[in-house]
Amino acid sequence: MRLSKLFGQSQRQAGRYPPEDGRHWLLRAAYWHETDQVRLWLPLGMALQGRLFRILEAAWGEAASLQEVDFPAPEFPWPRRLPVALTALLEAHVASYRQLPRVLLWRAPHRLAVLALDATPEAALEAAQAVRERWEAALRPLGLPLDAGEGPAALAGLATLGLAPAAQGGEPTLRCPRCGYEAPVAWARRAKPAPETEPLAPLTPVATPHANTIRALADFLGVPESRTAKAVFLHTQEATPRLVFAVVRGDMQVSLPKLAALLGVDGLAPATDDEIRAVGAVPGYASPVGVRGALVVVDDLIPRSPNLVAGANREGYHLTGVNYGRDFQADLVADIAAAGEGDPCPQCGTPLQAAAAWVITASQSLETSAVYLTPEGKTAPLGVAVAWVDGEAAVAALATAHSQPDGLAWPSALAPYAVHLIALRGGEEVADALYSELRAEGFAVLYDDRKASPGVKFTDADLIGLPVRVTVSRRSLKQGGAEVKPRRGEARIVPLDEVAAALA
């Protein structure tokens, strides 16, 4: 490719990103272009990502039997339940155990995914995790450090993420400085206390005028917020919305991403006062005691917390002595509490610290109503799981890992071109001939044939960061050939008829 024909101009500045962030160099070297609303991929970036995806696909080899399909797929996190269109696809094309197992490859802009189909959910998840592990094994030799993290389905122990450290940007995470636990803030867990057991107190209404917040209630009754139950009413964003009553301890917050993932919905929105009253609750004084018609979801700490204070579903009143099991039941019990900086690590109890990471890979199990016929002629639920790799995050993380003070420095396996050929004054005709020769030898060459100064050409070569630079000039020819300089190494003069061999 002649640089004079390549779409994309190098930039002097990279806006919001500092030099230690690989996106700084991706923008300056014209791999990407960004506006306030969107990131655009330029030809250099597409070529780089193409190399990356070919490496990832080759990680499976011939035995993988990956079959490519195309379908509209949601962004991660996928809902726990397979989208209706994909369920219909599987119902139509997987009728029997004879069509199992299958691993389907799906390409989307800047993302690769596989859908693993198997006889059981456990087998499908194992296949998806194997895909993710192979991808991660292929990424590590490229210089991308990956640590295991937790995703939304980790609520049920089903999702794993591959995280790469981010100098800036990326996904906000919480990380333990002691044991290394890390997860995106939206999905992070925290250690929860083990409340002491105590006799169950009687359920007693107490007048609490104007105490319609947790803070006001705790102050009025002289109890810690940890002895109260916080009620959050939401409705699901789906074709037929459901009213959700989420309950956490008063000193904690509800994690909307965890709750949405648990329910298998794309999002949640606050319920209106009318919706709250319709199920027998009172805004500001609500509790699950006596509520009818709402989906009640409680944090897993609530059943272990005796004698809480909760709303009486009566204006100006609360109940003391509220106990799970005796006074109310939940439809779902799970970890729905948000974690924050300073909360104890779920693994070792050390205070969590704010960090950032790129979410590079993920795998998770999916629920579906699709069934198939077993060898015995019985119907069984189809096992489905997904694994994906995010090309945009991977490229950003790789650029961070392979940046230098003056630009990028790609490894040979990943670079969009193998050679950056530069023609300077007095060497144009020889450089043209060398360009043709190297291409004939099978080298991918980016040829800077522009009428620009040596400083501009060398600066752009450093920004782009190809593995080796070959310069042909009047000076190099007088010295006996072309100057060959590895991106990380010393320059030397190589006779023209030996350049291809030296590069090989």
Where would I find the beta strands (DSSP E) of 58-101? 67-69
Mean pLDDT is lowest, of 132-136, 326-330, 371-375, 436-440, for 132-136
Mean pLDDT to the nearest integer, 231-248? 94
pLDDT at position 73 is: 65
Give me the half-sphere count of Cα atoms (radius 13 Å) on the Cβ side of residue 387.
24
Amino acid at the residue 398: L
Q: Which of 126, 110, 184, 173 is nearest to 392 (CA)?
A: 110
- Cα separation, 71 vs 335, whole angstroms: 32
Q: How confident is the model at residue 231 (pLDDT cuts 50, 70, 90)?
A: very high
Contact 344, 321 (CB under 8 A): no
Contact 497, 482 (CB under 8 A): no
Dmax (CA) of the chain: 99
Domains recognised in the chain with CATH numbers: 64-190+352-400 (3.30.930.10), 204-334 (3.90.960.10), 419-503 (3.40.50.800)
Q: Helix, strand or coil for residue 3? A: coil
pLDDT at position 159 is: 67
pLDDT digits (tens, 9 = 90+) for 467-478: 999 999 999 999
CA end-to-end span of the chain, whole Å?
19
pLDDT digits (tens, 9 = 90+) for 258-296: 999 888 887 899 999 999 999 999 999 999 999 999 999
pLDDT digits (tens, 9 = 90+) for 47-103: 999 999 999 988 876 555 778 898 876 665 566 778 888 899 999 999 999 999 999
pLDDT digits (tens, 9 = 90+) for 169-198: 678 999 999 999 999 999 899 999 999 999
- Cα separation, 297 vs 166, whole angstroms: 34
pLDDT at position 158 is: 60
In this structure, the number of other CB atoms found within 10 A of the CB of residue 206 comes to 16
pTM for the whole structure: 0.85
Strands 383-390 and 111-118: what pairing? antiparallel
Contacts (Cβ under 8 Å, ≥6 apart) of 153: 77, 80, 159, 261, 364, 365
pLDDT at position 168 is: 67
> In the beta sheet, which residues pair with residue 470?
421, 484
**Structure token pair of residue 219:** 């102050």
pLDDT score of 367 more than 80: yes
Contact 384, 117 (CB under 8 A): yes
pLDDT at position 171 is: 84
- Cα separation, 497 vs 129, whole angstroms: 49
Mean pLDDT to the nearest integer, 484-495? 95
State the chain's mean pLDDT as an integer: 92
pLDDT digits (tens, 9 = 90+) for 289-336: 999 999 999 999 999 999 999 999 999 999 999 999 999 999 999 999
In this structure, the number of other CB atoms found within 10 A of the CB of residue 322 comes to 27
pLDDT at position 156 is: 53
Contacts (Cβ under 8 Å, ≥6 apart) of 150: 159, 160, 161, 183, 187, 188, 189
pLDDT at position 154 is: 57
Contact 133, 59 (CB under 8 A): no
- Cα separation, 359 vs 173, whole angstroms: 10
- Cα separation, 261 vs 242, whole angstroms: 15
Question: Using DSSP, how many helices (H) and how many strands (E) does the chain show?
Answer: 12, 28
Mean pLDDT to the nearest integer, 382-410? 94
Peptide bond into 101 cis (omega under 30): yes
Rounded to the nearest angstrom, the gap between the alpha carbon of residue 472 and the centroid of all alpha carbons in its chain is: 44
- Whose tokens are 């593995």? That residue is 467
pLDDT score of 242 more than 90: yes
Give me the half-sphere count of Cα atoms (radius 13 Å) on the Cβ side of residue 206.
18
Contact 124, 116 (CB under 8 A): yes
pLDDT at position 248 is: 98
Q: How confident is the model at residue 153 (pLDDT cuts 50, 70, 90)?
A: low
pLDDT score of 202 more than 90: yes
Q: How confident is the model at residue 253 (pLDDT cuts 50, 70, 90)?
A: very high
pLDDT at position 157 is: 55
> What share of the chain has pLDDT > 70, as a percent?
96
> What share of the chain has pLDDT > 90, as a percent?
79
In this structure, the number of other CB atoms found within 10 A of the CB of residue 312 comes to 24
In this structure, the number of other CB atoms found within 10 A of the CB of residue 266 comes to 13
In this structure, the number of other CB atoms found within 10 A of the CB of residue 268 comes to 22
Mean pLDDT to the nearest integer, 143-149? 85
**Structure token pair of residue 195:** 């409340």
Contact 415, 51 (CB under 8 A): yes
Amino acid at the residue 32: W
Contact 299, 335 (CB under 8 A): yes
- Cα separation, 242 vs 127, whole angstroms: 34
Contact 255, 337 (CB under 8 A): yes
pLDDT digits (tens, 9 = 90+) for 117-130: 999 999 999 999 99
**Structure token pair of residue 299:** 């944090």
**Radius of gyration, CA atoms only, the chain:** 29
pLDDT score of 15 more than 80: no
- Cα separation, 163 vs 74, whole angstroms: 21
Rounded to the nearest angstrom, the gap between the alpha carbon of residue 394 and the centroid of all alpha carbons in its chain is: 10
Q: For the chain, what's the residue count?
A: 504
pLDDT at position 264 is: 80
